[in-house]
Amino acid sequence: MLIIGERINGMFKNVRAAIAEENKEVIVDLAHRQVAAGAHVLDVNVGPASDEPAQAMVWLVETVQEAVDVPLAIDSAKLDVFEPALARCKVPPFINSTTGAQDKLDFFLPLAQKYDASIIALTIDEQGVPSTTEGRSEIAMRILVAAMEHGVPVEHLYIDPITLPVKAVQDQCPRLLQALGQFRQLSDPPPHTVIGLSNVSQRAQEKHLLDRIFLVMCMAHGLDSVILDPLDKELMDSLITAELLLDKQLYCDAYLEAYRR
Ligand code: THG
């Protein structure tokens, strides 16, 4: 399971303040703690409130790279944020994210190719988020074909079926699970799959329980990468246990400890 740490995101108040004040300490601490807790990749997002997002992202990228040497996932809704940030990454990064819309694919796939980046692709297109599983698979297939045409290998492609809050759209949860299964049938080898796990529990009271259970359900449907809070120890214990029960780790009584070592 590829673990992408979500905590360096301007959506969090302390991170938003740290970016505004260029306070490196908060960012460096979050980078160290997430990697120590098991993150393989760190997502970096300046948040929707930044007025100079491209500049803020460059600062974040440089600050995080002073602390840790894991790959970064450049996470932004604004196109002009990407190239300056990607150009400063010391190890091949992740682009988070393109969609299946043609103009986005035309913009992001050449960038992924140029920077040897992995790319997360949301199954959304000009018409928005499809409500059916088949709609998600169709867009995923279009993304897969476009990636091949641009010389982006399938190993670098992470399809994201888009996780919506259970509180708002409950029926999307089983559809997402179904979509994860279908994405594995698209090619051989199949593209990776990824979700932003915490989306499912947004504004819900039982946030941690929802995150844990949904993660395990997704893993059972083939999810092989996830954006989550690695500082949530019970969540990480659930992830490690699910890997064990899916026969991805060798059993021993002290498997939690063994995994962390
Ligand atoms: N897919 C992809 N990238 C993504 C997402 C996705 N990036 C952003 C997001 N979704 C994943 N990251 C987060 C980070 C925080 C939260 C959710 C997803 C979150 N924060 C709490 C909240 O809003 O309730 C707490 C905020 C706070 O404490 O201030 O839930 O789906 N590819």
Strands (E), 62-117: 72-75, 94-99
Task: Judge if pTM exceeds 0.95.
Answer: yes
Q: Which atom of ligand 1 is nearest to the CA of 12?
A: 29
Pocket probe for ligand 1: among 96, 108, 207, 227, the residue whose CB has the most ligand atoms within 8 Å is 227
Share of the chain above pLDDT 70, in %: 100
Write the pLDDT tens digit of every residue in 221-261.
Answer: 999 999 999 999 999 999 999 999 999 999 999 999 999 99
pLDDT at 131 over 90: no
Cα distance between residue 17 and residue 24, in whole Å: 11
Residues 6+ apart with CB under 8 A from 75: 9, 43, 44, 45, 96, 97
Helix (H) or strand (E) holding 100: none
Residue ID of nearest Cα to ligand 1 atom 19: 198
